[in-house]
A and B are shown apart, each in its own frame.
Chain A
Amino acid sequence: MSGRWVLGGGRRAIVLAGLLAGAVALGGCSTDAPGGAATSSSAATTTSSSASGPASSSAASPTTASGTAGATSAAPPTGTAGSSSQSTSGGASSAGTGGSGQLSGKTGSVDDLTLTADQVAAVKAKGGDVTVGILAPLSSEYLANVVDGAKQEAAALGLKTSVVDYQFDAAKGVAGIENLVSQGVKYMVVVLTDPPAMIGAVKAAEAQGVTVVQFAGDQVAKEAGGYSVAINDKDLGTSAGEAAAAIAKGRGAVQIAILDYPSQPNVVIRADAMVAAIKAGAPEAKIVARVTGGTQDAGLTASESLLQKYPDLGGVVSVNDAGGYGAVQAFEGAQKTGANAFVVGCDAESKARSLIAQGGIFKASVDTQPGLTGKAAVEAIGKLIAGGSVAQYTTVPVKTVTS
């Protein structure tokens, strides 16, 4: 051994080349990955596709490769469309500066965004020249599916897309917005996982004439005069709580625990709404604990310990599905079945749907409709391009899945 180097200079170069080749080879594995939504692994990456190119897979189940990522970072960080906070929103005078459309009022539904045949024709006439920038982290099932929905709608409208994956790194997100603007993009759909850090870049883009639609959040509409297309966390929590209450009602004074994620304010809104709905719908049930979940591992660990303290625990309601999977495992470990234990989650992931269909402990989940969210965001852009009007806040409905 040289004492400093295991390998000499020439061999060192070979090692370096080998490592690079290995990295490329590993990256190549992505071609086999299901879903096909993730586009990059190590840096903020831009991928472009022409309007005629095939859209990614249509996997519609949202959330959490990393458990909390989909449900927490992806979901609106504060009360979103439809919430009372909207009444204080700022003026929208700068909105839509890149398009010929206009605001149609404060709030609306996704149905309002459906384009007429004339509008579709108008968009397609311009589509070849228009690129929609899509900026989001893709390392969560929920966001990957939101972006899939957006890309599919863009393809349907004949719009080009340019996707930037900023990997939950706000600095990369800001750089991504700046890069899209420098590419000449005039329409952008964005997810802001760190709104205070990223809203400045959105405002700067709007000052350059870019129209910005935010999905899964409302800060762009509230603070930057843009548009928001999002679910309402209160609706989501209420639906999950109502589903839990419907099950609990027939089980008497059942003990219920909430799996929360306290570090995300929007998720706390969700959990608060769950508690309120359970208390209203099943007053005889008793909420015995509200502890941190968010990932399957955390949900399992917490539920196992909860069952030590409350051996008669009969239900767990989780702010996302991943935590719920852990609760199911804990119940199964305690020899409980669907007859004396239930779990309700949020997101309606494919795994959750599968468990619900099996008729076991996992009884219900609430679909946050990520595909529809992405689709609606691009529809809003289509409307604006075609000269139509779009509400500043569009609420995406949630759907309870019980079978």
Chain B
Amino acid sequence: MSAGGSAAETRPAGDATPSPETTAEPVVGADPDLGTRRGRGPARRLLTQNGLLVILLVWVVFLAVATDGFLTRTNVLLVLRQSSTIGVVAIGATLIILLGEIDLSAGAMVSVAGVLSARALLSAGVDVGVAAVVGLLVGALAGLVNGLLVTALRINSFMATLGMMSVLGGVAFLLTGGQTLFGDELRPLAFLSNGYIAGIPFPVILMFLCYIAAWVLLNRTGYGARVYAVGNNPRASFLAGIRVDVVKAGTFTLAGLLAGLGGLMQVSRLNAASGGLGTDLLFPVITAVVLGGVSLTGGRGRIQDVLVASIFLATITNGLILLGVDGYTQQVVSGAILIAALALDRWRRA
């Protein structure tokens, strides 16, 4: 990675570039454990590198034994389908967190993009393709605004996106007047979340395609190297010739685009749109990123682990219902499972 050497330099004092609370350390790109695992056996290496996957597999085996219907083809595809929207939006959140920034407006972007697409179909009667482009562009535009707030106006991303969360969430409610938008005109979007190709739900295929693209982007392109470099040390990255602000603004825009796609998927899944369409997505999206081991201080984390985490989250609700756990206990158990997974993940890294 071209920025690796520079990133290890000590950050000069008086740096005006917003920098995450990282200490100067080698940029290791997509592999956070490089340099700490040499000499370990293959089993330990497997656990160290893919701990979350191992935890997911243990949970899956438990559910397969303890329930009748978990490990059926139908249910597995159902869980994957249920994880798809969160999974796609989590890609954008991962990219931003890798930069050492945060985006709290992801759920609100999903809402606005979804609502505007739905209104385009219901009120304007546009073609489904146009509505899809509207959703994607609205998401990208909102992401770009986030990016400009963070880079051009130097507003801390937590505060900038917190403000945008309120603005976009409010706009979504204004656009719906507090009502739920629905109608047969939304049917053309149905394939996005309810269609099948060769027996596989299309949203699952879409999610995996997005993750493959994200993996390639992060691991096989200069852009990915820059994202990790900026996340590790923006000052050093700048000195190495990386256009830090451009990388950040571009990444926020890309995350917005993915949130727009999430909005379309959510409208398609529910065949309806409301002001709160994406409100409940923010917490699971951030949870998926953190559970996936992406460092909130930036520069460390693997996109494939976020995919595993997104699927893991979906298995919790599904698994607990199949286990017959009631609503009250579900809250307790799902929280406990998350904490246990995080604890095991940290333990295996130690």
Contacts and interface: CB of A to CB of B under 8 A. Distances in A.
A12 B152 contact: yes
A65 to B, nearest CB: 4
Contacts, number: 187
Interface string B65-77: 0011110101100
B269 A67 contact: no
A305 B171 contact: no
Contacts of B50: none
A21 interface: no
A12 B153 contact: yes
B227 to A, nearest CB: 17
A98 B230 CA distance: 62
Interface string A297-333: 1101110111011000000000000100110010001
Contacts of A64: 180, 274, 276
Interface in B1-39: 16-17
Contact of B318 (A16, A23, A141, A305): A305
A300 B266 CA distance: 12
Given A6-B151, A65-B180, A291-B326, A27 B321 contact: no
Contact of B82 (A140, A301, A354): A301
A280 interface: no
Contact of A298 (B173, B280, B324): B280
Given A262-B328, A301-B317, A141 B179 contact: yes
Nearest to B317: A301
A145 B119 CA distance: 21
Nearest to A261: B327
B178 A139 contact: yes
Contact of A309 (B180, B194, B321): B321
Centre residue among A139, A290, A329 by max chain B CB count within 10 A:
A139
Contacts of A6: 148, 151-152, 245-246, 249
A164 interface: no
B153 A15 contact: yes
Nearest to B74: A308
A66 interface: yes
A41 B149 contact: no
A34 interface: yes
A3 to B, nearest CB: 5
A33 to B, nearest CB: 4
A304 B246 CA distance: 43
Given A308-B318, A309-B69, A141 B152 contact: no
Contacts of B67: 309
A108 interface: no
B174 interface: yes
A26 interface: yes
B330 interface: yes
Contacts of A305: 75, 78, 317-318, 321-322
Nearest to A169: B166
Nearest to A36: B177
A23 B145 CA distance: 11
Contact of A41 (B69, B152, B173, B179): B173
Contacts of B151: 5-6
B169 A144 contact: no
A249 B173 CA distance: 40
Given A16-B153, A300-B269, A305-B317, A141 B17 contact: no
Contacts of B154: 5
Contacts of A292: 327, 330-331
Contacts of B272: 296, 325, 351
Interface residues of A, number: 69
Contact of B276 (A57, A69, A302, A325): A69
A331 to B, nearest CB: 14
Contacts of A302: 317, 321
Interface string B311-341: 0000001100110101110110000000000
Contacts of A69: 276
A37 B179 CA distance: 10
A4 B17 CA distance: 6
Interface in A1-31: 1, 3-7, 12, 15-16, 19, 22-23, 26-27, 29-30
Contacts of A333: 194
A257 to B, nearest CB: 9
A15 B144 CA distance: 12
B275 A66 contact: yes
Contact of B177 (A23, A144, A260, A351): A144
A308 B170 contact: no
A350 interface: yes
A291 B328 CA distance: 8
B319 to A, nearest CB: 8
A38 B173 CA distance: 7
A27 B280 contact: no
B321 A306 contact: yes
A318 B7 CA distance: 55
B44 interface: no
Interface string A239-261: 00000000000000000000010
A224 interface: no
9 contacts: A1-B243, A42-B163, A42-B166, A66-B274, A300-B269, A305-B321, A308-B74, A308-B318, A349-B180
Given A145-B178, A292-B330, 9 more contacts: A4-B245, A23-B167, A38-B174, A61-B179, A66-B275, A290-B327, A296-B274, A302-B321, A305-B322
Interface of B: 16-17, 67-70, 72, 74-75, 78, 82, 145, 148-149, 151-154, 163, 166-167, 169-171, 173-180, 182, 194, 238, 243-246, 249, 266, 269-272, 274-276, 279-280, 317-318, 321-322, 324, 326-328, 330-331
CB-based closest 3 A-B pairs = A41-B170, A66-B276, A35-B177
